[in-house]
Structure 1
Amino acid sequence: MNKLAISVIGVPMDFGQSRRGVDMGPSAMRYAGAIQRLEALGHEVKDEGDITVEKFNTEDQLNTNLRNLNEVIEISTKLADKISEVVAAKRFPLVLGGDHSIAIGTLAGLSKNYENLGVIWYDAHADMNTEETSPSGNIHGMPLAVSMGLGHDALVNIHDYAPKVKPENIVIIGARSVDPGERQLIKEKGIKVFTMHEIDKLGMTEVMNQAMWYLRDREVDGVHLSLDLDGLDPLYTPGVGTPVPGGINYRESHLAMEMLASSNLITSTEFVEVNPILDEKNKTADVAVGLMGSLFGESLV
């Protein structure tokens, strides 16, 4: 893999969901040695610190279909500004979450800098709900829909344009908990999804090969990897807010990252939903950092 100039950006936000603790995810991944791991691979790493997240009183927003909407908009806008600045400086953005709603800001900051951005969404969930279809009102279940231009106007139009990504440029890997409204949207938009059924049937090597050729065929000029740690089975990543049994295993995930590393397709990435309060001895953060190692060129020999 080419040696990169990487900018690490923490987003200690937990407003996109209702279980506290995921705001400590960036600290947990740094503590697990994320910076040192990448530097040991020869990359030039700059820790840009954390996006400032004010602590709001959110109790009055618990029963809405868009929980903590204003806070998510504010932080997403700050993150989009920072991402845009990093890309303009020709650096590789590595974002540490935080809940998965941070992807709204990440993709808003990235997309302005690409003509035809592709996205690999490594996740147990499709994250394609809207205010109308969400069973919880948690915005961390909405970032892909928002990025496609579907949802609340203020979320959709962060950085004053929409959509951020075309439905045909999205690949979801590891899905196994998809809500009815999301299922309908996937069919309507023709989104490429590799569920656990496909991973079990085809094997991870074939899934990743198909995913990468699918994006190459669309002539994308950049690919963002959005990796939710609940994409893996909870046996390996217990410290996540919405664990779903029957997920991708540890070795399959490293293989996927190694294949992406050798492809040189990935131009930005984020690792989200590490919740130290729910974790076992920082196990989930350790797995996240191990996957970063594989994504950025670590090999066994």
Structure 2
Amino acid sequence: MQKNVIRIIGVPIDLGAGRRGVDMGPSAIRTAGLNERLRQLGWDVEDFGNVEVPVQEELEIKDKRLKYLPEIVKVNEQLHLMVSEAMKEGVIPVILGGDHSLGIGSLAGLASDGRHFGLIWFDTHGDYNSLATTDSGNIHGMPLAVANGIGAPELTSIGGEHKKISEENTVIIGAREIDPQESEMLHQSKITVFTMRDIDQLGMQEVISQGIKIASRGTDGIHVSFDLDVIDPEEAPGVGTPVLGGITYREAHLAMEHLADSGLVLSMEVVEVNPILDNRNKTAELAVGLICSVFGKRIY
């Protein structure tokens, strides 16, 4: 068991998104100094490079309801194996995206060997669409549903024919743009959703405290999935699907600091950084700061 090792895995995928550019996210985050800053915090860092992802221009969309399905399946099968191996070796995988479709592979990898983990999903969107509800056909709007066994069999079967998450231990934080049918599906599930209204009313400290309690109840630890579009676009402009009214810089760091204090983080992914839309790599630098907050950086 290597308890002080973080393994960086890049997934430069933009096949699941409706907007180009997030494939450059892993490079932008690395350029912002992630590896060195984690080493300064006392971590041994292994950078395993990037999962191989085909270029959109070389591909053809075979089904507009599930765009680039075969290619996304292949990428997530590779990621599933890499995350599973990291967990078996006792190192902490930190996955850099890339669009949020990569969550299919990361959650499948975490669920290997019957591991029981909690999930905190920071996102403006519910990512709970499926073939039956999607308007766009973009698979980055589906990973949480897929992990719960809802969606195309090609996706839900990655890593085995079973649900990858426990609804009772799954928490969405920061939601402010959820499709009507998606909302109905979430209401029917046992997933806990904290919207921006909840954060406004309760405060981030209460929301993240409740989220950690829910995600950790009876589990081996917590996976943190952080979509940068959960942060207000004034502070995180480099995302593919910005929506006004997100969490603030300090609210994001406060949440990460509470997760660090819990000592329960098993793994993390940071997704949807789009350098094309960014301002001097501001969003990637914010991503690095948030990752460092999870892994021990303190103000004082």
**TM-score, structure 1 normalization:** 0.96
2:231–2:248 CA contact under 8 A, matched in 1: yes
Q: Distance in 2 between matches of 1:267 and 1:170?
A: 14
Task: Give per-residue Cα distances to partners, 1:237-266, cap 9 Å, x unaligned.
Answer: 101000010000000100000000010111
Shift of 1:113: 3.8
1:9–1:48 CA contact under 8 A, matched in 2: yes
Q: Distance in 2 between matches of 1:167 and 1:82?
A: 24
Tell me, yes or no, if structure 1 residue 266 matches structure 2 residue 268: no
Partner of 2:145: 145
2:104–2:147 CA contact under 8 A, matched in 1: yes
Inter-CA distance 46–115: structure 2 relative to 1 (3 Å threshold): closer
**TM-score, structure 2 normalization:** 0.96
* SS of the residue 2:159 aligns to: helix
Partner of 1:211: 211
Partner of 1:225: 224
Inter-CA distance 44–59: structure 2 relative to 1 (3 Å threshold): closer
Tell me, yes or no, if structure 1 residue 43 matches structure 2 residue 33: no
Shift of 1:85: 1.1
1:121–1:172 CA contact under 8 A, matched in 2: yes
1:114–1:222 CA contact under 8 A, matched in 2: no
Tell me, yes or no, if structure 1 residue 162 matches structure 2 residue 194: no
Q: Distance in 2 between matches of 1:41 and 1:176?
A: 34
Partner of 2:129: 129
Tell me, yes or no, if structure 1 residue 181 matches structure 2 residue 181: yes
Task: Give per-residue Cα distances to partners, 1:204-244, cap 9 Å, x unaligned.
Answer: 1111111111223x311121100000010001110100001
Shift of 1:55: 2.1
- Tell me the amino acid that sits aligned with residue 252 of structure 1: E
Unaligned 5+ residue runs, structure 2? none
Task: Give per-residue Cα distances to partners, 1:10-47, cap 9 Å, x unaligned.
Answer: 00111001211100000000000010110000011111
Partner of 2:79: 79
2:60–2:68 CA contact under 8 A, matched in 1: no
Inter-CA distance 61–289: structure 2 relative to 1 (3 Å threshold): same
Structure 2 matches for 1:15-26, cutoff 5 A? 15-26=15-26
Shift of 1:87: 1.0
- Tell me the amino acid that sits aligned with residue 135 of structure 1: D
- Tell me the amino acid that sits aligned with residue 274 of structure 1: V
Q: Distance in 2 between matches of 1:59 and 1:11?
A: 18
160-169 or 237-246, which deviates more: 160-169
Q: Distance in 2 between matches of 1:278 and 1:44?
A: 32
Percent sequence identity is: 50
Unaligned 5+ residue runs, structure 1? none
